[in-house]
Structures are given as C-alpha cells and as structure tokens.
Amino acid sequence: MENDSKPGIRVETEFGPIEGFLHDTQGGEVTANIFLGVPFAAPPLGELRFEKPVPPEKWKEVLPTKSFRNSCTPYIKMWIQNPTFSEDCLYLNIMAPHTPSKDHEGYPVLVYIHGGGFCFGDVVKAGFDKITRNFASKGLVVVTVPYRLGVYGFFTTGTKDAEGNLGLWDQTMALKFVKNNIQKFGGDPNNITLWGQSAGAAAVSALALSPHSRDLFHKVYQSSGSIFNSWGSGNPSIRCSFALAKALGCDSKDPVKVKAFMKEAKWEDILEISSTKFVTELTADVGDEKYLIFGPRMDDDFFDGKTLDELLHEASPKTTLMGLMSQEAGPFVTLPMSKEKIKDFSIKDFEEKIESSFCPRSQVGDELEPMKEDLVKFYTSGAEGPVELLQKIADLASDFMFFQGVLHDAELKRKNDWKVYFYIWDYVNEFYLKLSPTKGTPHSYELPLFFEQKGFIPFPETEDDRKVVKSFAEILSNFCKHGNPATKSIEFPEYDLNDRKTLRFNLETEIRKDPIKERRVFWDEFAKKYNFNPVRGRTHEQLKNRIS
C-alpha cells in the first residue's frame, strides 16, 4: 500500500496500540497524522449480527491503521460504491494536525457522519487528503464514522428483542471511542462537534436527543437533514423487516424466530432479494422513496419511549449550526426523467408527481384531492411552461423532503432555548448550471468540494470553488472552536423566532430575514389543515403516540 512507505506514528488507544502515518497535503497546507481503519466495535458478525455493538477485543501487538477498511454493506446492488464492502465495517478514521496544539486542552474535534438514506454511503470515498487540507489545516482533529446500513443497521421486529436503530447505536459507540481516546490524538474530548450530512444530519439530530448519546459531544452541525424529516424517523422498518424475512423464505411471524432466521441468512441472498423481488414487489406503495425503507424508528430503547418533542424539551441545549442547499431536490426530481419528459413537463405531470411521491392515496385517503389542489395552487401560481413548472416541482420536492422538516427542527430548538445558526447555500459551479435542468444548489453539492467523492453531476473545480471552500471551512472551524460561525469577513447572526435571520452563502454572503417565509407558513397551515402531515410522514395521532 502506498501509505506503508510513509513515516509511521503510533498511538496507544484503550484497546491497544495502533500505527498510522504522516501525510503532507497535496497543497502543502499542513502535515497531519492519519489513522485509517481504527476499530471502535467488534465485527457485527455471527451472533452479533442484528445486535447492539460491543467493544472490540483488546490487542497487544501494534495494529497497522494505514489503509481504509471495508465499507458497510449497502442495501441494494445499485448503491455499491466501494467494491470492498462487508458486514465487518465498524472502523473509523482520524486526521489530526501533526504539530501539537498550543492549547494544553488540545484541538477541537469534528466528527463526521455520512449520509445515504441510511441505506448506502460510506466514509471511504471521502478520502483523507481534502479533509486534511480543508479542516485539519484549520486546527481541527477530524474523525469520519461508518455505521451499519439498511437491514443490517435498522432491522427490527418492534419488540425488545430487536428494537432496531442499530446504526444509531454504532454511531454512539464511535462517539464513546472518540470521547475516551481522542486526547491521545491531540484532540480535546471536551470540545467535540458532531457533523452529519443528509441522513447523517438526521442521525446527528437524533444523537443530540437520545439519553444514550447526547452527553458524548457538545455542538451540532446538521447539513441538509433532520430526524424530523419524514425519512428521518418515519421509515416502515418493522413491516419491511418481516417482509424481507418472508421473501428470503421465513414462514414464521414470531419475532424471535424471524430474528433467528435473519441471523443465519446469507448476505448474498439478502443483497439479491433486496435488489430485485423485494424492491419491486413489496414496496410499491411508497412512491419514489421505495428504496429508503430501513432507518430510525421511535423505540423504547434508543429514544427512551418518548416523542422527539419530549426528548428535545428534556435534553440540555446544544449550540447548533443548520444548513440547506437552495434547491435540495432538483436531482431527485429530474434524474429519473427522460429528456422528453423534462422538455414537455406539464401540470398533469405535476399532479401525478404529487400523488406518486408526496401524498400517496394509500396514506392520505380521501384527503388526496384537496391536498393536491392546495399544492398545485400554491406552487404553480404564475408558472408558465415546462421549465418553470419543473422548477416549481423541484421547490415542492425540496420543501417536502428537506426544508420543512429542518425548519421545524430549528423552530423547536429555538423554543427550547437552543442557540441556532442557519444558512442556505446558494453557490453553484457554473459548469453544473449548464448541465442541470433546474436552477439552484442541489443536495450533497458541497461533498465533492470538501471531500474526494463525486457529486450527482461531476464538474471541474474552479477558482471560485476554492474560494467558497476556504470561506466555509473558516465558518465551520470557528463554529467548532468557539461555538460561533462568524468570521472576520462574514457576519453570521443567531437564528431566532422574531426575524429568522439566515445567512445566504455564496461568493458574496448576505443576511436575509425569513427568506422562505411564504413556503414555511404554507406548510405550517397545511399540516394543521389535514390529518396527515406529509413532512413528518405520519398522521397527527401517529405523531402523538409514536406509532412507527
């Protein structure tokens, strides 16, 4: 391996000694200590499959940590992004400045949890050079954390024997490792910021509430997601766990027997069934999100038998940075469409999209038609022609999938005395604009700028991109260090419930008061008017009683 020839650096963890390597960034910004593939839990294999993570066995010999380990097994084949995947995947990565901090407490720590709808994604493709350049160079120790995905991370029978949320327990175990060991890597265990993107942001917002995890870190950064989004905690994981077992050949409906059967199932069979028969035949009633069917659920264990609102009220407030891309759902709307459909997109297509993706009749029943009428009237007012209608359906999808759940989260945090900073990222590369049918910044746009992975539409990096990355890295590093994201050149006021000041992030930033007020107010009224709250993905009764 190329890293084997680099100078080694050793650290003694609570489980045993490890050896990473020294790395000089490509731009010469900083020399860093890199540790890849550090075990934070025992491999969840055999009897440990579908169980909470347990600590790894201790070791005495020096463990090489110079290369990435396996990515966690994704839910279906189309989401295999790293050919080296396995259930044995609970290994985190640490990137720290080589020069010790002048502060005897150590460097602030930034822990990153990836997205992917809880069903795919990994930290391997994020790499380590860009992370080191962008963040370790600013005086941060960065940790990237994997977790079990799909059925492996969120299998549940809804009983005490299999409550689910194993992916969240994995993340909690990783946070315990960071809390107990990061000082030996030069980090400050009393200044840990937890950053999640998309599903990772939903996980982070859950970790900030659960009594099992909320005391393991100090500040929160949620990018494009919240546990209050419908996909954040409204997944039909119980139903789908039983359905998958049945599709694999399990005849029993007894929870204990189903779990025992699934423990013995071959991963190849799980992947094959999940990728073919299971997806097409058993999940036809959940619209465009038919793949995103395993994820967090409100249980009696991780969530302590309480609602999100109750947990938020009882948790100690954490300073929180929250952000959204200006057009989150553009790619989700247009990528499945043919060029002809994009060119000829009509009001009829708009209405069909509402029913298939946002308000399926199976969930909303007789309220579908008035719901559809309200949505069409609000979003298409003044829109003329396919281009504008396509932009409007992207607005609707962005609100439904991301904006309103995240805003609801921010509003509740402020009502419970959490300090919140809020931004909308509006910068987009000029090459992307030429290729995208919708305008605005799409979901996950920032990832290829911060990390070494590719976005929805790959584009060449420009000088403006580098300026934006430098600017936002300073915002994030200041937030990690001081709990305030403002910089010498960028004003960043707190978000409050009076004027809702929001940073519009671009090459030139500006502060806007309640920039999407009309859409926010519309969805607040929409949720009150109808029994089914599509943003939360449940009826009012289900929300009240934590029904999954």
Query: CA of 400: how far to CAs of 206, 404, 453, 539, in Å?
Result: 20, 6, 26, 15
Q: Return the pLDDT at 236.
A: 82
> Per-residue pLDDT for 435 more than 90?
no
The answer to whether residue 445 sits within a structural domain is no
pLDDT above 80 (res 287): no
Q: Give residue 79's pLDDT.
A: 63
Contacts of residue 400, defined as CB under 8 A and 6 or more positions apart, other chains included, come to 230, 329, 357, 358, 534, 535
Per residue in 412-434, pLDDT (tens digit) is: 999 999 999 999 999 998 888 88
| Residue carrying structure tokens 């430098």 | 470
- The number of distinct structural domains making up the chain is 2
Lowest-pLDDT range of 9-13, 81-85, 375-379, 469-473: 81-85
Do 336 and 236 lie in one domain? The reply is no
Lowest mean pLDDT among 61-75, 303-317, 425-439, 474-488: 425-439
Q: What whole-number distance in Å separates Cα of residue 545 and Cα of residue 539? A: 10
Looking at the structure, tell me whether residues 398 and 289 fall in a common domain. no
Does 267 lie in the same domain as 407?
A: no
Phi and psi torsions of 112, nearest 5°: -110, 130
Structure tokens at 264: 């013995």
Predicted TM-score (pTM) above 0.75: yes
Q: Which of these, 125, 142, 143, 146, lies nearest to 53 by C-alpha position?
A: 146
434 versus 262: the higher-pLDDT residue is 262
CATH number at residue 524: 3.40.50.1820
Last residue of a domain, one of 265, 293, 318: 318
Asked if residue 197 and residue 54 are part of one domain, the reply reads: yes
Residue that terminates a domain, selected from 268, 283, 318: 318
Q: For residues 532 and 541, what is the distance between their CA atoms, to the nearest angstrom?
A: 9
The pLDDT value given to residue 289 = 38
What's the rounded Cα separation, in Å, for the pair 7 and 85?
Answer: 28
332 and 313, same structural domain? no
Given a cut of 90, whether residue 331 has pLDDT beyond it is no
- For residues 465 and 470, what is the distance between their CA atoms, to the nearest angstrom? 9
Q: Are residues 349 and 263 in the same domain?
A: no
Tokens of 13: 């963890």
Report whether pLDDT(516) > 90: yes
Lowest-confidence segment of 61-75, 379-393, 529-543 by average pLDDT: 529-543
Q: Is the pLDDT of residue 284 over 70?
A: no
What percent of the chain clears pLDDT 70, i.e. is strictly above it? 93
Q: Does residue 423 lie within any of the structural domains?
A: no
Within-domain flag for 387? yes
pLDDT band at 382 (very low <50, low <70, confident <90, very high): confident
What is the band of 453 on the pLDDT scale with cuts at 50, 70, 90?
A: confident
Shared domain check, 314 and 339: no
Q: Please, which pLDDT band fits residue 520 given cuts at 50, 70 and 90?
A: very high
Does residue 426 lie within any of the structural domains? no
Verify that 136 and 212 share a domain, yes or no.
yes
Is the separation of the CB atoms in 121 and 199 below 8 Å?
A: yes
User: Averaged over 83-109, what is the pLDDT?
Assistant: 95
448 falls within a domain: no
Domain boundary among 291, 318, 345: 318
For 82-115, give the DSSP string: SS-EES---EEEEEEESSPPSSTT-EEEEEEE--
On whether both 179 and 230 belong to a single domain, the answer is yes
CB under 8 Å to 30, separation ≥6 — which residues?
24, 97, 98, 132, 133, 136, 137
SS3 assignment, position 128: coil
- Within a domain: 8: yes
Same domain, 103 and 140: yes
pLDDT band at 115 (very low <50, low <70, confident <90, very high): very high
- 424 lies in some domain: no
* One domain, residues 377 and 287: no
- Confidence tier at 291 by pLDDT (50, 70, 90): very low
216-257 pLDDT per residue, tens? 999 999 999 999 998 898 778 898 899 899 989 999 999 999
**Average pLDDT of the segment spanning 478-504:** 97
pLDDT tens per residue, range 26-48? 777 789 999 999 999 999 999 99
Does residue 543 surpass a pLDDT of 70? no
Instruction: Output the pLDDT for position 28.
Output: 79
Q: Are residues 39 and 169 in the same domain?
A: yes
Residue 203 belongs to a domain:
yes
| Confidence bin at 383 (pLDDT 50/70/90) | confident
Domain range enclosing 39 = 2-318
